[in-house]
Structure 1
């Protein structure tokens, strides 16, 4: 089965729609952080980068009187739930392995505990921990990290470079097996 690449995921119209809301810069930056962290933690970098790229695709916008209302957004936040659903559906449409799609969607679901009445820190798997920490590394107060800009061509370039690194890792891993 051909590996679904980050570039494949990024180019899909569904990804484009939802990453416009959550921020292409944030998604691509977090994917890069997740790759590096995954290697250090012994986590599959393919799963980590896909989860990181898609982690905020459940975001939506809350406006009051024409202005972004961060407090209202935080109070009503369920973006991880919507994102997990969207990520799974997208990956299945792209032909991703069902177990990979499941692992990625659960990592998207658990990348934050902002919507839960309890914390997840001690309950996350290594993959989920990597995605959560990669997201935290790029966060800025009041959600400003979602508004940093990145041209789509720059995003594609960075994701292509990550895909090459993942391919190399997977080839090296196969040779060791």
Structure 2
């Protein structure tokens, strides 16, 4: 039913490099929030979870005098732009449908407005969910990016989330079939 699973995303070397660097525990936690929010709002949970999982893969660190400098990071941050590009390229490489890959990349791009000049930002429901899922897991001074999780625990949580998505999509398809009859 799905072209690309979360497990396939997780195992890819690009994900291993960029998602781990940005905070794997945060990515997984935001993914669980996105799943729950997507179910509540009737949004495709597969897209919401993938976008939440990949939302920070554009992060890089900003150091001054050998120390992480959160203010310098906030001043110069464009992680959503880099992340959207990386997410799109990765999803296409793994065989994701091009329209779905674009939707996910746009949700990654718009999960924050930190890089935009002041103004009003319109977000689709999917984009709102990813932004909210990220906010729900935030900690002061970006500490959520430094929480640790072992690879074995991460794999277990990701497999569980894949099962939840599959069940939700089957349930949704059944409900749509029942409505037609």
Q: Same fold (TM over 0.5)?
A: yes
Q: Alpha-carbon deviations, 1:111-148, whole Å to 9, x = none?
A: 00000012555x11000000000000000111000000
The Cα of 1:19 is off from its aligned counterpart by 1.4
Distance 1:60 1:120, change over 3 A: farther
Instruction: Quote the residue 1:115 is aligned against.
Output: 115
Q: Normalization by structure 2: what TM-score?
A: 0.94
Give the paired residue count. 176
Match of 2:154 in 1: 155
Q: 1:170 aligns to what? A: 169
Shift of 1:55: 0.1
| TM-score normalised according to structure 1 size | 0.96
Q: How do 1:122-161 and structure 2 match up within 5 A?
A: 123-161=122-160
Aligned-partner Cα distance in 1 for 2:80–2:130:
12
Q: Which runs of no fewer than 5 residues in structure 2 stay unpaired?
A: 177-181
**CA displacement at 1:20 relative to structure 2:** 2.1
Residues 1:58 and 2:58 are matched in the alignment = yes
Deviation at 1:65, TM superposition (A): 1.1
CA distance in 2 between partners of 1:38 and 1:58 (Å) = 23
Aligned partner of residue 87 in structure 2, secondary structure: helix
* Aligned residue number for residue 9 of structure 2: 9
| CA offset digits 1:23-48 (Å, max 9, x no partner) | 00000000000000110011110000
Asked whether 1:105 is paired with 2:92, we answer no
* Greater shift in the superposed pair: 165-174 or 26-35: 165-174
Runs of 4+ in 1 over 2 A off after TM superposition: 118-121
Q: Aligned pair in 2 of structure 1 residues 119, 46: CA closer, same or farther (>3 Å)?
A: farther
Cα 1:5/1:120, change in 2 over 3 Å: farther
Question: 1:2, CA displacement in angstroms?
Answer: 4.8
Determine helix, strand or coil for the equivalent of 2:4: coil
Tell me how far apart the structure 2 counterparts of residues 19 and 53 of structure 1 sit (CA, whole Å). 8
Name the CA distance, whole Å, in 1 between partners of 2:55 and 2:112.
9
Greater C-alpha Rg? 2
Deviates more, 1:2-11 or 1:30-39: 2-11
